[in-house]
């Protein structure tokens, strides 16, 4: 009996020592450990104690968690698959998490009968537009699919004066540490004729502001460019800017090659810049697509006989293009990218060389072989980069998932 009491006393003393030591772990170490955990796990730890809850709800911690997630090798290989169910999506929408290498389904985020489109994605947030009906103003929403939080945002103030078609660009401004939505549309006035009107929504202020400076883009260029890029998802986000492939803004006359320049929307500066793409002597008629190559902006160029990869060393103002790969192509490979040349492109490295994920297929740049992926997907619509994050977990007036029932 005395031994049992002694053991109980020893165990109780050991637990007290552990708790005592646990209490004296430096807060900075708590923060570092929590910031390296998945977002869903971090949210569960908010209930442990008030001090942990205060750490997790701090905006600086949310930023730290996002930055660590960006360099996580596992998260960088995940994609979101956005699919329509039934003909023209009449049976709803399906959002799943898939591995980039084989589009293997790992998690289902959402299955809903509500009709909506994804008008943009950046880091952990999606810009969603609910579809009500023709002639009606479809509502907008920012949604974090990982933590099931969403925020309704007002419609842009340009709707009352534009031609009715609004193009949205969604991205992150690193200098101001803020998410922004840029709304663009054409506008007619008796005095000036056709021009482009812009409005910018910032998440921190949760309001729109009109921009009358034209964002450094003329109406003819805007009209020609966004008539080609009719799908809002076709741009590419990287390091505080959104990129599109287009033609030289200073060029007039016949546009034989419409993919000679990068159009860059800088979310910090809130203006467009233009950058000439690299060319080889036999690149005529090639298709060019922007993508992320490790931590650099890159462009994949493919024709029926040749393919190449160029990466940008430095920023978009003073950077230098360097050729990273050059090899043969195939007519099948060229046809794959030509069949939908304005969809997002994802790159990963495997044991047998570099591969691109495009549509529901992968393309090996060394062997020129095409492999079918995602056989479980019935009606593929779009692929998006996926990253777990904590934005909207606290503040902003964000609501839980049922707010998607618009």
* Model confidence pTM above 0.85: no
Tokens 């020893």 -> residue: 10
Both tokens of 276, joined, read: 């000439």
**Distance of alpha carbon 341 from the chain centroid:** 18
The larger pLDDT score, comparing residue 2 to residue 298, is at 298
* Alpha carbons 145 and 129: distance in angstroms, whole number: 15
* Alpha carbons 220 and 214: distance in angstroms, whole number: 12
Beta bridge partners of 107: 97
User: Is the pLDDT score of 83 beyond 60?
Assistant: yes
Average pLDDT, whole number, for the chain? 78
Cα end-to-end distance, the chain, whole Å: 67
Q: Which of 328, 406, 391 is nearest to 143 (CA)?
A: 391
Phi and psi for 392 in degrees, rounded to 5? Answer: 85, 0
Tokens 């590419």 -> residue: 236
Using the CB atoms, write b or e for 235-253: b if 16+ within 10 Å: bbbbebbbbbbbbeeeeee
The larger pLDDT score, comparing residue 401 to residue 189, is at 189
Tokens 């979101």 -> residue: 80
Tens digit of pLDDT for each residue in 18-37?
A: 445 556 677 778 788 888 88
Q: Which of 250, 244, 249, 216 is nearest to 232 (CA)?
A: 244
User: Is the pLDDT score of 16 beyond 70?
Assistant: no
Average pLDDT over residues 180-202: 85
Q: What is the pLDDT of residue 311?
A: 93
Q: What is the pLDDT of residue 255?
A: 53
Ranking 93-107, 313-327, 347-361 by mean pLDDT, the lowest is: 93-107
> Does an H or E element contain 329, and which?
none
Q: CB–CB of 360/378 below 8 Å?
A: no
Q: CB–CB of 125/180 below 8 Å?
A: no
Tens digit of pLDDT for each residue in 108-162?
A: 777 766 667 778 888 889 898 876 655 456 688 898 888 888 899 998 988 766 6
């Amino acid at each position: 009996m005395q031994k049992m009491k002694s053991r109980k006393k020893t165990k109780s003393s050991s637990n007290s020592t552990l708790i005592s030591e646990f209490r004296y772990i430096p807060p900075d170490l708590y923060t570092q450990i929590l910031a390296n955990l998945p977002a869903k796990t971090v949210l569960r730890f908010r209930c442990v104690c008030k001090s942990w809850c205060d750490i997790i709800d701090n905006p600086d911690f949310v930023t730290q968690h996002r930055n660590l997630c960006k360099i996580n090798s596992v998260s960088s290989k995940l994609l979101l698959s956005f699919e329509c169910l039934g003909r023209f999506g009449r049976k709803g929408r399906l959002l799943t998490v898939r591995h980039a290498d084989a589009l293997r389904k790992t998690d289902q985020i959402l299955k809903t009968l509500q009709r909506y489109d994804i008008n943009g994605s950046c880091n952990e947030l999606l810009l969603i537009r609910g579809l009500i009906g023709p002639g009606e103003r479809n509502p907008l929403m920012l949604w974090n699919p990982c933590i099931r939080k969403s925020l309704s945002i007002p419609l842009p103030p340009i709707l009352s004066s534009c031609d009715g078609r609004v193009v949205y660009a969604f991205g992150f401004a690193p200098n101001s540490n803020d998410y922004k939505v840029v709304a663009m549309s054409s506008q007619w006035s008796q005095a000036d004729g056709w021009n482009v009107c812009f409005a910018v929504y910032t998440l921190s202020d949760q309001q729109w502001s009109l921009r009358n400076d034209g964002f450094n883009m003329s109406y003819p260029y805007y009209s020609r460019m966004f008539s080609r890029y009719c799908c809002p998802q076709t741009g590419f986000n990287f390091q505080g800017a959104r990129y599109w492939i287009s033609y030289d803004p200073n060029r007039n006359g016949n546009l034989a090659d419409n993919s000679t320049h990068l159009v860059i929307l800088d979310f910090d500066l809130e203006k467009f810049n233009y950058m000439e793409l690299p060319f080889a002597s036999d690149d005529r008629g090639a298709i060019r697509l922007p993508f992320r190559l490790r931590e650099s902006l890159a462009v994949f160029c493919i024709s029926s006989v040749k393919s190449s990869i160029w990466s940008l060393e430095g920023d978009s103002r003073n950077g230098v293009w360097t050729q990273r790969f050059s090899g043969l192509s195939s007519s099948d490979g060229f046809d794959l990218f030509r069949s939908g040349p304005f969809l997002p492109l994802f790159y990963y490295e495997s044991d047998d060389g570099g591969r691109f994920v495009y549509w529901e297929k992968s393309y090996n740049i060394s062997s020129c072989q095409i492999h079918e992926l995602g056989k479980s997907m019935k009606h593929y619509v779009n692929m998006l980069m996926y990253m777990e994050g904590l934005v909207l977990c606290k503040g902003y007036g964000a609501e839980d998932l049922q707010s998607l029932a618009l």
